Structure 1
Amino acid sequence: MDRLTGMAAFVKTVECGSFAAAGKALGMTPQMTGRHVAELETRIGTRLLNRTTRRQSLTEAGHAFYERCRALLA
């Protein structure tokens, strides 16, 4: 999968608060959005988001990566 698409999916997920909202904003399904983020996590070798059934939050590494991705995508 494309790295920039994965970064965009990750940034939009953080900003929107969910895969569903991010997917809608990006024109893709929530499952595809989650898949892009999971692939990105696998590629860089660390978990970026802590996920539960009710909410998700950034890990420490995720917060730092989010700031870098936001700057790159801007």
Structure 2
Amino acid sequence: MIDAAERARMLKAHSIGPRMISYLEEIGIERLSDIRGADAEELAMRIDIALGRKHMNRLGVEALRNLIALAASIPH
């Protein structure tokens, strides 16, 4: 589960909202550091598999790219 402080940091990424955060929780993401260097398309595919349907469109993938960029900008 993503704690409140980490959730607040994630929400700072452009186009990331509570629903996307719940999707990330579905695939086991708990911290921004979990997605540092990740591939947005792969995360989208994992979310689609977890939800049991094609859900992530190009805007969702772009939002994931924004979140990955935020994760990369935070010092280790």
Mark yes or no: TM-score above 0.5. no
Q: Which structure has more RCO (C-alpha within 8 Å, separation ≥ 6)?
A: 2
More helix by share: 1
TM-score by length of 2: 0.30
